[in-house]
Amino acid sequence: MGRGRGVETRRTCSPFVLEDLMTGSVCRSTLLVLAVLLTMPACRDVPTGITDPLGPDFKPAPSRPSYTVLTPAVAPGWTAFMPANVNSLHQAVGVMNPVGNTSQMAARAAYWEAGGTAVPEVLPVFPGMTWSQAGAISENGIVGGRIFPAAVLWKRGPAGWEPSQLAAWGIVNGVRDDGSAVGTMWDPERNGDSPPQPVMWDAAGTPDTLPLPSAGPWNAGEALAVNAQGDVAGTLVIWTLGMSTIYGALWIREGEGYTPLVMQTGWSRGLSDRTATGSIYVTASGAHDAYRHRFTRNVSGVWTSDSVYVEGVAHRMNPAGDFVGALEKGRFGSSPKPYVFPATGSVLTLPLAKNASGSAVGISADGWITGYVDGVGVVWKPGS
């Protein structure tokens, strides 16, 4: 994907290998199984309808912010907790594996009071199900994820954590304080072997499939993040059996409906709340570039965006527009370094031991960051 100016297009060529959709150690497996390799017969430009002049290539600042690195304790019988996201109550969610079994199919969703003394809790699953994962948490502690193959929410009840199913085949990727959530669903009658559909569930658990653009080849997508105003970030997909082409997407809430916008860059994993002027910040990852797009409606009522980028991968974003990810070295992304890119300020690398590598994958409204270093889950707590 090139960096250009004017009306945005995305060029697809053959062959093109999709970036692995990892969130810490948590893999959104079903879409990956469906969409691992692109085999397009020729290059083509697909217009997205978004005017997107790109900003300068930002380099990380030489100084680092002050953080205390927290390593979650290991629960008896389980390996290290790998946190995917954290809220402003410093409640982190992610996965753990049982000792002696590192298979993804053995992973279990887990919860940890970051900085507390308790070990992470393994979240319950439905009878007969084993594999689960958690990657979303609201500000008031509702957890979202999946108990494979079902999309679920976990809420605390009088007897502890209680899972509730939202879809037979799906995953929850973002959740709000009222219990509404966004994610992806697949046709249960086809055992997930169907075009993924982006969906928003209301507080009662009723699903609403997000619209695809009326023009263009898109026939699938996934919803990965939601803000306080109900805007949604994710992907739009050109899906056929065994083949997928993925574009970044933003669904802008307009009254009771949505306006879908397509981006040149790839997976959009995070977005901010709307600013005082109505702008929306969105993260996206291209082949080797991490983007922050700022979407603004112009005087003609058309949504346009401008962007800045760094060399690496972009993950989640907090309501203020700060986002995290991993800086890469070279074409194959060797020795990635975790970073935070504040909405106002310079890119800052997070503290690491010498010769260590890792990635930052989640960030709370007050700046706590989840990620991993050399395969071990950590939380970066602001301040020394």
Report how far Cα 3 is from the mean position of its chain's Cα atoms. 23
Q: Could you tell me which residue, 332 or 112, shows the higher pLDDT? A: 112
What are the tens digits of pLDDT across the range 245-263?
888 999 999 888 999 999 8
User: Positive or negative, the Cα torsion across 251, 181, 255, 323?
Assistant: negative
Give the DSSP H or E segment for 222: strand 220-226
Contact 37, 149 (CB under 8 A): no
Q: Kindly state the average pLDDT of the residues 29-47.
A: 31
Tokens of 342: 């504040």
Q: Kindly state the average pLDDT of the residues 219-248.
A: 91
pLDDT at residue number 55:
59
Instruction: Find all residues with CB under 8 Å of 336, minimum gap 6, and list them.
Output: 312, 313, 326, 327, 328, 329, 357, 358, 359
Q: Kindly state the average pLDDT of the residues 183-190.
A: 93
Predicted confidence (pLDDT) at residue 295 exceeds the cutoff of 50: yes
Lowest-pLDDT range of 40-54, 161-175, 246-260, 356-370 = 40-54
pLDDT at residue number 209:
96
Tokens of 56: 């300068």
Q: What is the CA radius of gyration of the chain?
A: 19
pLDDT at residue number 263:
86
Q: Kindly state the average pLDDT of the residues 114-126.
A: 89
What is the overall mean pLDDT for the chain?
82
Structural domains present in the chain:
8-382 (2.130.10.10)
Tokens of 255: 């009254």
Q: Could you tell me which residue, 380 or 346, shows the higher pLDDT? A: 380
Predicted confidence (pLDDT) at residue 78 exceeds the cutoff of 90: yes
Q: Give residue 57's pLDDT band: very low, low, confident or very high (50, 70, 90).
A: low
pLDDT at residue number 289:
83
pLDDT at residue number 58:
66
